[in-house]
Structure 1
């Protein structure tokens, strides 16, 4: 038995998506590589993230839905910021777990 029942979630308007998502995917993948995020080793010898992991997380898509009206360079910056924050968290989790 569940503690509570989730109601139907009705949205009276469609979700909007920023048209610059693909540009931000490419930009952020290149940026993360230049910043060393895709080659940062873990103590166990693996990588914190690689290109496949970053692509699967698709931060550009998340940012495209949460910021549907900004221009391409702004979406790039927002996506880079989210990637940095989550990488920072995952990196320190690997170092200190």
Structure 2
């Protein structure tokens, strides 16, 4: 689904390519990061013609693991086009974190 200003534009084909990784810095401490690109087709008034557009996104952060617990904190970013096409206000740049327990 593609949106503009909270109005649904419709369903169109989309393609995503991304990668992510983590690098051990010291015991239990990781540098994390990822990057990707989202490409989609926009509907056009000309029959049989589709116009494509896309945007990049990514994240960088740190993770800490100890005794089954993991704390992740990162900065997530997108190109401005993602903010314009998302129906949700969270498509902008922001810091986020999560705490998980592995049992």
Per the shorter chain, which TM-score range? under 0.3
Question: TM-score by structure 2 length?
Answer: 0.26
Normalised by the size of structure 1, how large is the TM-score?
A: 0.27
Specify which structure has the higher proportion of helix: 1
Tell me: higher relative CO, structure 1 or 2? Use CA pairs within 8 A at least 6 residues apart.
1
- Which structure: greater strand fraction? 2
- Which of the pair has more CA radius of gyration? 2
